[in-house]
Amino acid sequence: MRSAAVGGLRKSRESHSRPDPRVDTPGVDFVVFGVFVVVACVLTLVMYLVASSRKGSVGAVAMTNRRIVLHSAAPPGAVYSWLTQYCPPGYSVEDADPANGIVVLSSKPTFFTYGFFFPAIVCTEGTGTRVDLGIKSRLFQYGPLVTKAHREIAHALANLTQSRVEGA
């Protein structure tokens, strides 16, 4: 074994050729992170496709506990017609049941949400109309974005049906 004196210290040349087993290789962390990012992107894409393919129907989308109520002086038939024929921009009518006064509206998935179904029940209240408006995510979603989407459609429908909003 040959050694050289450097600054009064003796070092072995062989110690430079072997890597230190205590040193972690930086490439492993990058690969793990890259795999995590790819898996997260694939799962998000799959969930987005599932949400986009879901269709709402009167039988499948039940009224939810989260409700906003609209009150209108117009007769129920007129309000129901406004909801089914003149849906606000950005929303579409998924299904309607005129016999029971139920309409299911929907919004498309966006970058931040998976989209929503909005079941609406139109019924007579005194001399006017009451519309109970619920919200259900196309996939699953909770939090302030749900509340924001619910309030937005409630105010859009209030403008459409000349109603006042209660609970938003």
15 phi/psi in degrees, rounded to 5? -65, -25
Low-confidence ranges of the chain (pLDDT < 70): 1-28, 52, 57-62, 167-168
pLDDT score, position 76: 86
What's the rounded Cα separation, in Å, for the pair 153 and 125?
21
Coil, helix or strand for 63? Answer: coil
**8 A C-beta contact, residue 150 and residue 168:** yes
φ/ψ region of 22 (left if φ > 0, alpha if ψ in -120 to 50, else beta) reads alpha
What is the separation of C-alpha 49 from the centre of its chain, rounded to a whole number of angstroms?
Answer: 12
